[in-house]
């Protein structure tokens, strides 16, 4: 069979329209309730507005304490909001997706995962409506993006290392760890977009629900905001090191940086 041509990668300048979706689920009333996820979503919302030029009217918030049924993180609402985020996206736009809540793994049914498991997130109504797999999220959030459109995704949940099925994962020295998906899948999931994923832990690791300054927060959301607030101008490699350093003393989790195309990790991180 003929070799598929690889899509040309294009870095986004992140100078176009900015939109964001922030999801925080505490699973109120559930035996495995979390404490910090709604706070995480609010902190990321504020951080994007104060530090990165996002506007409140271009950010959708889904939290399970919302009184508005459309702003609650049900499976249907999350899918609708993901579609809103990528709708009418253009080259050099900057989209931001944040999820803080439970994550997990389920047996991979289509053979795209090297470890045999798909990564999943859990909507507030997962017991009734089910989870959302990385395959579904990739199809909605990544596949529809045009060339050179940035999507920055921040996942603060367990088993999140490859949650958007990004093929390239980086070590803190900026070097590639090697491909995380097989070649057939890499071709299927190839994209012209500029997708960067920051995740709270490797697949197979749990993420911490911690107290920082007396407020319950997800450790990864806290570290990401703290590192970029202290030093907004950092390379990808510097930011990965800074986030890992903040978490290193207290937690076993090792934050991951992954991408849709091979990135020069010495470049400045923008969003």
Whether pLDDT at 209 is above 90: no
Distance between CA atoms of residues 222 and 265, nearest Å:
22
Instruction: Give the DSSP H/E element, type plus range, for residue 245.
Output: helix 236-248
Whether pLDDT at 164 is above 50: yes
| 37 is an active site residue | no
| 159 is an active site residue | no
Beta strands in the chain (DSSP E): 18-24, 59-63, 94-100, 103-107, 117-121, 132-133, 150-156, 168-170, 176-179, 194-199, 209-212, 215-218, 256-259
Whether pLDDT at 79 is above 80: yes
Whether pLDDT at 166 is above 90: no
The pLDDT, as a whole number, for residue 4 is 47
Q: Which one of the listed residues 102, 131, 159, 261 is annotated catalytic?
A: 102
Find tokens 């450790």 and name the residue: 219
| 157 in Cβ contact with 120 (< 8 Å) | no
pLDDT band at 18 (very low <50, low <70, confident <90, very high): very high
Distance between CA atoms of residues 235 and 26, nearest Å:
32
Q: Against a cut of 0.85, is the pTM above it?
A: yes
The pLDDT, as a whole number, for residue 223 is 92
pLDDT band at 95 (very low <50, low <70, confident <90, very high): very high
| 136 in Cβ contact with 121 (< 8 Å) | no
pLDDT band at 107 (very low <50, low <70, confident <90, very high): low
Cα–Cα distance list, 98 to 1, 60, 128, 176, 264 (Å): 39, 10, 23, 24, 23
Quick one: angle between helices 236-248 and 219-230, nearest 10? 130
| 34 in Cβ contact with 7 (< 8 Å) | no
Cα–Cα distance list, 28 to 51, 65, 74, 78, 211 (Å): 30, 8, 13, 17, 18
Mean of the pLDDT values across residues 130-151? Answer: 93
pLDDT tens-digit series, residues 213-238: 544 557 889 999 999 999 999 999 99
Distance between CA atoms of residues 111 and 90, nearest Å:
32
Find tokens 């980086």 and name the residue: 170
Q: Which one of the listed residues 22, 149, 157, 158 is annotated catalytic?
A: 158
pLDDT tens-digit series, residues 3-12: 444 555 579 9
Find tokens 């009217």 and name the residue: 57
Distance between CA atoms of residues 145 and 236, nearest Å:
22
Whether pLDDT at 78 is above 60: yes
Provide the mean pLDDT of the chain: 84
Mean of the pLDDT values across residues 30-48? Answer: 93
pLDDT band at 156 (very low <50, low <70, confident <90, very high): confident
The pLDDT, as a whole number, for residue 220 is 86
């Amino acid at each position: 069979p003929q070799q598929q041509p690889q899509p040309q990668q294009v870095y986004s300048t992140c100078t176009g329209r900015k939109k964001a979706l922030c999801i925080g689920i505490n699973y109120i009333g559930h035996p495995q309730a979390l404490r910090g996820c709604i706070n995480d979503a609010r902190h990321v919302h504020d951080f994007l507005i104060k530090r990165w030029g996002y506007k409140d009217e271009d950010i959708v918030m889904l939290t399970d304490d919302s009184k508005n049924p459309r702003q609650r993180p049900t499976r249907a609402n999350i899918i609708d909001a993901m579609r809103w985020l990528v709708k009418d996206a253009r080259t050099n736009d900057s989209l931001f997706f944040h999820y803080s809540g439970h994550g997990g793994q389920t047996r991979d049914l289509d053979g795209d995962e090297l470890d045999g498991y798909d990564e999943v997130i859990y909507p507030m109504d997962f017991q009734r409506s089910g989870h959302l797999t990385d395959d579904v999220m990739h199809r909605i959030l990544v596949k529809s993006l045009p060339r050179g459109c940035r999507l920055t995704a921040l996942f603060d949940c367990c088993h999140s290392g490859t949650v958007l099925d990004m093929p390239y994962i980086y070590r803190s020295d900026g070097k590639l760890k090697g491909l995380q998906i097989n070649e057939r899948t890499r071709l299927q999931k190839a994209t012209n977009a500029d997708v960067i994923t920051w995740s709270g832990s490797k697949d197979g690791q749990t993420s911490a629900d911690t107290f920082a300054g007396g407020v319950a927060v997800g450790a990864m959301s806290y570290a990401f905001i703290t590192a970029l607030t202290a030093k907004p101008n950092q390379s990808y490699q510097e930011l990965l090191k800074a986030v890992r350093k903040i978490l290193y003393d207290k937690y076993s989790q090792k934050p991951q940086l992954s991408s849709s195309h091979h990135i020069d990790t010495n470049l400045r991180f923008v969003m």
